[in-house]
Chain A
Amino acid sequence: MVSDTLTETAANTSRERLRADMVRLASGDRSSLGDIYSATSAKLFGICLRILNDRGEAEDALQDVYLGLWQRADRYDPARASPISWLATLARNRAIDRLRSSKRVRDSLPENAATAVEDDTPLADSLAEDKQRDARIHHCLGKLEKRQQSAIRTAFFDGATYRELAETQGVPLGTMKSWVRRGLAALGKCLGSDNE
């Protein structure tokens, strides 16, 4: 328990530091981007690399993320989202845009997608700021049917579209859509939200 508390305290401190850096950046202090980069680049690069499956592509995406962040730092609202969740989402969205705009040069899914999505070991890491919230998404996703879970995870982690999911699973597009939609409806309800 003692070490848990220490870990949590350390996580709180680094989160607050990151939040403060983001606010500094929004106010035009460009030196804070270096601090933000040091604190977050390995996490965000891991995300870009998973989606793009190519180091060069992932580095280009990451460069876009930080340059975009510098140019539009004022879009981050410190009162609303946690800074690392916000940055992780920015990185995922950027990587997916890149994946979609260059889909001709790449296979639709990385080779390791099928095995990788099975790995659902939750890690205690920087995104898990709010332990309850973190546990919640894992808990709620875990309650879905296996095939709904797998489709949602593949979309999330590999940037697969409905079309690609249907193709890889060898089911009609309409079938895939109805699996996923039922899954999303259940997920929204479980997460307890205004999105039901």
Chain B
Amino acid sequence: MNERSRLAAEHALGLLTGEEAMQARGLMASDADFAAEVAGWEERLAPLMDELPDVEPGPELWNRIEAAMAQPSEGAEVVTLRKRVRSWQLASGLSAAAAVALALFAFPIGGPAPTQDAPLVASIPIGDTQLRVGVTFLPERDELLVSASGLTADGVHDHELWLVDEAGQTRSLGVVEPGFERRVTLEPTLASAIANGSDLVLTREPLGGAPAGASAGPVVASGEFAKI
């Protein structure tokens, strides 16, 4: 098994953290053979899930899903969104790559309709350098785009992004991937804690991020969400 095949198996199982996870996600996006290998593992492992018992979800869940589907969608909205992505890009100084990443998940929609919630952005400068981590939060989708395209990994640490909530508690927004634009869907409770003016901090952590249960590492940079 060569190194890339091994990485595909490890990624399919979800074993990876830190740099290796980054590398695998990068290959998933850029290398069709790698993605096919991952899919091959997923498919062959899937029968194991037969061991899990069926459990009925709450009876109201289908109504929730239908309600979310019933929101008006598509058509003119896509055009509006495209325009908005362009204006976010201009306003926030997002790189073209970030705008493309944004566009990729903003356009192929047919589901929950965007509300009028404006995106929030934060720009976190890294030390005395010109580099910054760009963070965009889309309230209408509970999605966060973290752009760290100018950064490179040092191989020893990861940097983790945290939201400082109103009570002063830090809540992880995940590990920043140097050199990548990362999109994540936040839990609704976490997403609802993000507001105009919310503070963000970037901490230095062991590879893979702060261990579960441990407190955050030293703060290396900070920023604040603002409407654009």
Spell out A's residues near B (CB within 8 Å): 30, 33-34, 37, 41-43, 45-47, 49-50, 55, 57-60, 62-64, 66-67, 70-72, 81-82, 85-86, 88-89, 92-93, 96-98, 100-108, 119-128, 133-134, 136-138, 141, 152-153, 155-157, 159-165, 167, 180-181, 184-185, 187-189, 191, 193-196
Q: Distance in Å from the Cβ of A191 to the closest Cβ of chain B?
A: 5
Q: Chain B residues with Cβ under 8 A from A63's Cβ?
A: 61, 64-65, 68
Given A33-B69, A97-B184, A119-B51, are A55 and B1 also a contact pair (CB < 8 Å)? Answer: no
Quick check: B43 and A164 within 8 Å, CB to CB?
no
CB atoms of A107 and B213 under 8 A apart = yes
Query: By the criterion CB–CB under 8 Å, are B56 and A42 in contact?
Result: yes
Q: Is the CB of B42 within 8 A of A89?
A: yes
**Measured CA separation A124–B111 after assembly (Å):** 35
Measured CA separation A127–B43 after assembly (Å): 10
Query: How far is B131's CA from A77's CA once the two chains are assembled, in angstroms?
Result: 41
Contact residue among A60, A119, A185 (Cβ-Cβ distance under 8 Å from B187): A60
Q: Does B228 contact A (CB under 8 A)?
A: no
Q: Which of B9-45 contact A (CB under 8 A)?
A: 9-10, 13-17, 37, 39-45
Please, how many residues of chain B have a CB less than 8 angstroms from a CB on the other chain?
A: 61
Q: Are B47 and A81 in contact (CB under 8 A)?
A: no
Closest 10 CB pairs of A and B: A42-B54, A85-B46, A108-B212, A134-B47, A45-B57, A127-B50, A125-B50, A46-B55, A185-B1, A104-B172
**Chain B: residues with CB nearer than 8 A to chain A?**
1, 5-6, 8-10, 13-17, 37, 39-58, 61-62, 64-66, 68-69, 108-112, 170-174, 184-188, 190, 208-213
Smallest CB–CB gap between A82 and chain B, Å? Answer: 8
Contacting residues, chain A, for B172 (C-beta < 8 A): 101-104
Nearest-CB residue, chain A, relative to B20: A162
B57 touches A41 (CB 8 A): yes
With A34-B66, A96-B14, A100-B174 known, 15 other A-B pairs at CB within 8 A are A34-B62, A46-B54, A70-B69, A101-B184, A103-B212, A127-B50, A128-B50, A161-B17, A184-B9, A184-B13, A188-B5, A188-B9, A189-B1, A194-B37, A196-B5
Pairwise interchain contact B211-A163, C-beta atoms closer than 8 A:
yes
Q: In this complex, which of B5, B50, B210 has the most chain A Cβ atoms within 10 angstroms of its Cβ? A: B50
- Of the residues B55, B184, B190, contact of A49 by C-beta under 8 Å: B55
Residue from A70, A128, A191 within 8 A of B110 (CB atoms): A70
